[in-house]
Amino acid sequence: MIIQLDSRTRIVGTNRAWELQRTRNYKGDKRWEAYKWFPSFRQALADAVHREIRVHPARTLADAIDGVADVVQKYEQLIPSEYRLSK
């Protein structure tokens, strides 16, 4: 399974783990490279969401709240309904 998060990041399921991958330029070619591994899809997705929230450019509390809402909405739209996680 490959779930494209944006043009530079995706989650890929392998036989042994879930990988967060990003694009790298290698001799003029764009290649996908794993940079983090997780035992579950939930952990891979949570890490991707947390990272995007951490690096959001918000400078005020109101901007931060809006930023978190935007990130959550983006990821909800990317994940097919049968794979959405519930508590």
Which residue type occupies 74? K
Number of domains in the chain: 1
Split at pLDDT 50, 70, 90, the class of 10 is very high
Judge whether residue 86 has pLDDT over 90. Answer: no
So what's the pLDDT on residue 76? 84
What lies within 8 Å, CB to CB, of 58 at 6+ separation is 64, 66, 67
So what's the pLDDT on residue 87? 62
pLDDT in tens, 35-62: 999 999 989 999 999 999 999 999 999 9
What lies within 8 Å, CB to CB, of 75 at 6+ separation is 5, 45, 48, 49
Domain span holding position 6 = 2-83
Q: Token match 């998060």: residue? A: 5
The pTM (predicted TM-score) of the whole model is: 0.79
- The percentage of residues in the chain with a pLDDT greater than 90, rounded to a whole number, is 74
